[in-house]
Amino acid sequence: MLLTPLQLRDLTLPNRIVISPMCQYSAVEGMANDWHLVHLGQYALGGAGAVVVEATAVQRDGRISLGDLGLWNDEQIEPLRRVTEFLKRQGARAGIQLSHAGRKGSSQAPWHGNGPLTEADQVRGEYAWQTVSASEQPIGPAWPAPRPLSIAEIHDLVQDWVEATHRAERAGFDFIEIHAAHGYLLHQFQSSLSNHRSDEYGGSLANRMRLTLEVARAVRQAWPAGRPLFVRLSVIDGTEPSGWSLEDSVVLGRELRAVGIDVIDCSSSGLGGPATAGAAVRTPGFQVSLAEALRQRVPATTMAVGLILDPKQADRILREGKADLFAIAREALFDPYWPVHAALALQADERERFAHWPEQYGWWLQRRERMLAAQGLTSVPQPRLPAD
Ligand SMILES: Cc1cc2nc3c(=O)[nH]c(=O)nc-3n(C[C@H](O)[C@H](O)[C@H](O)COP(=O)(O)O)c2cc1C
């Protein structure tokens, strides 16, 4: 199943393996550079069905860190077009995650502390900026208070999402993912822990979902009808107490389907800090049950993510009908060639081995494999998780 195609509107994903968006903290003024081309390009060589560009800010102040990518001006299009052209030439589909960090903006890169920018960061030329959110509650005691967005600013923000969508089209992307997870701005509006507004964007579930749905509707209208749209949700806050539940995600998921969202990418947590540092115990596939629940109850095409490590584990998720697609992030950092290695591990027919590799590599490896096999050796990777 891992290696079967998936049709989404006019787009065919060649397989079910997606490289999850991963901030690189390596852009200057939101511009992609050679780092992004090589970082993302390696995953296309490695056989991914789709590669999703990191959280890309729709407004300059919507960046998480100063090193984030952006699509808030036209100059930022061309370097991303280089990336999409390379990905597509290798047979991968190109996605981009559009985002606004809200109160999680003005942050340090993880290796500089993973907290809010402070005066000490100015030695690197990194100056803090005033963040915005649904309300004025900070992320935590160490974080500065955001400024609540006015209604006029919310309307401008939706328009900026539309402008970024047009730029993503000009940059050649096959699909967009709207980032409504991990405690960033849209999630801040959704969760009652971070949204204390008393206007039409706060209070009831319908009001707290309003901004996410307005963005989804506006992006859908701006994006070509034949190209799919993904939304990433934190399906649960993962905190105690919680301000956003699985039940809320089911309601939102149905509304998102109704406005023409094709795939729900099912993540969790992040409201109170980094997405990779929630309270839940994180075992392999720990968020798959969320994708399964939304797939059954919305129903929606879902993507599972989170500690997916092993090709057989991933194949089982798909076979058991828990998700239609899955994404890998840190496992792709560990092994950018994970998809072709997975194909190798699952490929029963020896003659088919290396068929999924770039021809520049596969021809050589096929012959090396025959030589190894004659000596009782193999290049086929061995499973890392215990068998069922
Ligand atoms: C370096 C790095 C950067 C990340 N940046 C993003 C991002 O830009 N957008 C996002 O939604 N998630 C981001 N994440 C979360 C991943 O996409 C993924 O959901 C998470 O790491 C769990 O998957 P994994 O266990 O395969 O790493 C990032 C993760 C890592 C490791």
Of 233 and 380, the one with more pLDDT: 233
For 215, residues 6+ apart whose C-beta sits below 8 A from its C-beta are 158, 161, 178, 180, 186
For 70, residues 6+ apart whose C-beta sits below 8 A from its C-beta are 27, 29, 30, 31, 56, 57, 58, 60, 62, 63, 76
In this structure, which residue's CA is closest to atom 11 in ligand 1?
21
Task: Kindly indicate the confidence band of residue 321, based on its pLDDT and cuts at 50, 70 and 90.
Answer: very high
pLDDT in tens, 21-56: 999 999 999 999 999 999 999 999 999 999 999 999
Q: Which of 54, 97, 232, 276 to mutate to test the pocket of ligand 1 (most atoms within 8 A of CB)?
A: 276
Q: What is the pLDDT of residue 276?
A: 43
Cite the beta strand spans of 47-172 per DSSP E: 50-57, 69-70, 93-99, 132-133, 147-148
Q: What is the pLDDT of residue 217?
A: 98
Ligand 1 pocket, residue 23 CB under 6 Å: yes
CA-nearest of 340, 365, 353, 368 to 90 is 340
Ligand 1 pocket, residue 331 CB under 6 Å: yes
As a whole number, mean pLDDT of residues 220-227 equals 98
In this structure, which residue's CA is closest to atom 4 in ligand 1?
22
Q: What is the pLDDT of residue 292?
A: 98
Residue length of the chain: 388
Q: What is the pLDDT of residue 282?
A: 87
- Compute the Cα dihedral for 49, 53, 55, 58 and give only its sign: negative
Task: Kindly indicate the confidence band of residue 275, based on its pLDDT and cuts at 50, 70 and 90.
Answer: very low
As a whole number, mean pLDDT of residues 255-270 equals 98
Q: Which of 22, 52, 230, 313 to mutate to test the pocket of ligand 1 (most atoms within 8 A of CB)?
A: 22
pLDDT in tens, 6-22: 999 999 999 999 999 99
Domain extents in the chain: 6-346, 355-388
Taking the whole predicted model, whether its pTM rises above 0.95 is answered as yes
In this structure, which residue's CA is closest to atom 13 in ligand 1?
22
CA-nearest of 87, 16, 93 to 346 is 16
What span, in angstroms and rounded, lies between the C-alpha atoms of 100 and 179? 8
Q: Which of 17, 19, 20 to mutate to test the pocket of ligand 1 (most atoms within 8 A of CB)?
A: 20
Q: Tell me the catalytic residues.
A: 184
Closest atom of ligand 1 to 54 CA is 8
As a whole number, mean pLDDT of residues 249-272 equals 97
Is the per-residue pLDDT at 152 higher than 80? yes
Q: What is the pLDDT of residue 270?
A: 95
pLDDT in tens, 159-173: 999 999 999 999 999
Ligand 1 pocket, residue 63 CB under 6 Å: no
Domain 6-346 superfamily per CATH:
Aldolase class I (3.20.20.70)
